Amino acid sequence: MITEITRKNIELAYQRLKELNNSLPEKDRENNKKLRFCLSIIENINENLDEWINNCPFSTDIVISYMSERYIRLDGISDEFYLTCGRFLREYILTIERKEERNSWLDGDWCSFKNEAEQFISK
């Protein structure tokens, strides 16, 4: 069951990401892979929240608490927020694959995340 708090957290995070994206010069927007990835994932979650929640085998409330707007600052996105988006995406992909379904858009986002994430992970 999706609580109003969960729905509100995702909506606020999505709005904050859009504001951050719009505040950047176009060149910076194109080069900011971390922001583009998170915006893409949160936008998809925001539009399909019921599906994401119902298809993930873990406590989504904990995950979504890390997708809070408090992890999005004017100077960028926290590594926690970025990595949480990636983890949530991977679990979602694994769940739909177990049902023998595919989503090429999500597979593409996962490949991008996998290739880029190492440089953002705090050592």
Q: Are 93 and 106 in contact (CB under 8 A)?
A: yes
User: pLDDT digits over 80-94, tens only?
Assistant: 888 888 888 888 888
pLDDT-derived band at 63, boundaries 50, 70, 90: low
Write phi, then psi, for 36 (nearest 5 degrees).
Answer: -60, -45
Neighbours of 107 (CB within 10 A): 13
Bridge partners (DSSP) listed for residue 73: 76
Cα separation values, 54 from 10, 43, 48, 100, Å? 15, 17, 10, 16
pLDDT at 80: 83
pLDDT number for residue 123: 44
Work out the mean pLDDT of the chain and round it to a whole number: 79
Give CA–CA dist 6/49, Å, rounded: 9
| Chain Cα centroid distance, residue 32 | 14
Structural domain spans, the chain: 4-118
